[in-house]
């Protein structure tokens, strides 16, 4: 994907991000307005966002398990983002992916939140024969490391650990011969939504969810509905299309 000039979300969205994330979390606790499609039991591998571990995705994984999927954490602790050891991390994640595939004897859906989606996309490009589909939540795919507040956020969360090295994220727009979808929100306070929209593949969807925070992506009920719909679909490929979650 060609480099585009993007800027980080506004200071207002950034400042409001924690409050809105809390609201998204509370919204996720409310009963669903309509039942979600039940899954077919295939395995789903979930990658956490920048600066957090699988603990942050535990609620989402539990909900997906309740829908009938075999859900797995990435099992690599805190996600400090792609850095100098990116190749080693991909090797570890590839071993984990192969283990899950062998255990269930079925292709695996990869679900990545924020910079966790970078790993999901890279794995799908490297091991397409093991992957059913890739779904990313608020994941930057454009080649523009200045379009997020991620470095500042990671430095704050990690109490002074040097900020993320963004250079390897240029691999995040790697394409693979598997269906993929990018879920994004125009009210994301961490990552510029324009950078989450990919046009590099005819086997891809861009799906907008309205009024969702970056940190609340893994809790918001509309995001869960989108995920349930995507995971329940037969892996027969998708056309490139920009969609809105509301009113589909």
| Residue 5 included in any domain | no
DSSP symbols for 95-107:
HHHHHHHHHHTS-
Q: Write the secondary structure of 127-152 as one string of H (helix), E (strand) and C (coil).
A: CHHHEEEEEEECCCCCCCCCCECHHH
3-class state of residue 214 by DSSP: coil
pLDDT > 50? residue 7: yes
Across 54-80, average pLDDT:
96
Sheet holding 241-244, edge to edge: 70-73, 43-47, 108-113, 131-137, 180-184, 204-208, 241-244
pLDDT, position 153? 53
For 172-222, how does the pLDDT look when each residue is reduced to its tens digit (9 = 90+)? 445 667 999 999 999 999 999 998 998 767 788 999 999 999 999 999 999
- Sign of the Cα torsion 119, 124, 127, 132 reads positive
Average pLDDT of the chain is 83
Is the residue at 4 inside a domain? no
**110 located within any domain:** yes
Q: Judge whether 231 lies within some domain.
A: yes
At 248, the pLDDT band (50, 70, 90 cuts) reads very low
- Nearest partner of 136 among 95, 182, 104, judged by Cα: 182
Q: What percent of the chain has a predicted confidence (pLDDT) above 70? A: 77
Most confident option among 54-58, 84-88, 238-242 = 54-58
Domain that holds residue 146: 11-244
Residue 6, in any domain of the structure? no
Q: Is residue 3 part of a domain?
A: no
Q: Is pLDDT above 70 for 246?
A: no
Please, what's the b/e burial string for 206-241 (b: 16 or more CB within 10 A of its CB; e: otherwise)? bbbbeebbbbbbbbbbbbbbbbbebbbeeeeebeee
Domain count, the chain: 1
Compute the distance between CA of residue 3 and CA of residue 226 in angstroms, rounded to an integer. 28
pLDDT of residue 175: 61
Domain-located, residue 106: yes
Per-residue pLDDT, 53 = 95
Instruction: Report pLDDT digits (tens) over 133-166.
Output: 999 999 988 654 455 665 555 554 444 444 344 4
> Rounded to an integer, what distance in angstroms lies between the CA atom of residue 153 and that of residue 189?
11
* Residue 139, domain CATH: 3.40.50.1820
Evaluate whether residue 114 is within a structural domain. yes
Instruction: Report whether pLDDT(12) > 60.
Output: yes
Instruction: Please indicate whether residue 169 or residue 89 has the higher confidence score (pLDDT).
Output: 89
pLDDT digits (tens, 9 = 90+) for 108-132: 999 999 999 999 999 999 999 999 9
Tokens coding 209? 């969810």
Output b/e per residue, 143-157; b: 16+ Cβ within 10 A.
bbbebbbbbebbeee
């Amino acid at each position: 994907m060609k480099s585009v000039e993007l800027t980080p979300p506004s200071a207002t969205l950034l400042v409001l991000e924690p409050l809105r994330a809390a609201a998204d979390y509370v919204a996720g606790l409310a009963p669903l307005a309509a039942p979600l499609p039940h899954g077919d039991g295939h395995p789903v591998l979930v990658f956490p966002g920048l600066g957090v571990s699988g603990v942050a995705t535990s609620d989402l994984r539990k909900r997906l398990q309740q829908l009938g999927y075999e859900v797995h954490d990435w099992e690599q602790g805190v996600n400090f983002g792609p850095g100098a050891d990116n190749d080693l991390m991909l090797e570890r994640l590839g071993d984990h992916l192969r283990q899950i595939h062998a255990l269930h004897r079925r292709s695996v859906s990869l679900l990545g939140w924020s910079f966790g989606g970078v790993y999901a996309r890279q794995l799908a490009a490297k091991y397409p024969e093991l992957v059913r589909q890739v779904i990313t939540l608020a994941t930057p795919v454009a080649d523009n490391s200045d379009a997020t507040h991620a470095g500042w956020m990671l430095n704050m969360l990690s109490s002074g650990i040097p900020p993320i090295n963004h250079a390897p994220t240029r691999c995040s727009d790697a394409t693979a011969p598997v269906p993929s979808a990018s879920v994004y929100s125009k009210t994301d306070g961490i990552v510029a939504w324009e950078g989450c929209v990919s046009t590099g593949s005819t086997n891809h969807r861009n799906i907008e969810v309205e009024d969702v925070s970056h940190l609340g992506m893994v809790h918001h009920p509309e995001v869960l509905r989108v995920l349930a719909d995507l995971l329940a679909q037969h892996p027969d490929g998708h056309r490139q299309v920009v969609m809105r979650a509301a009113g589909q």
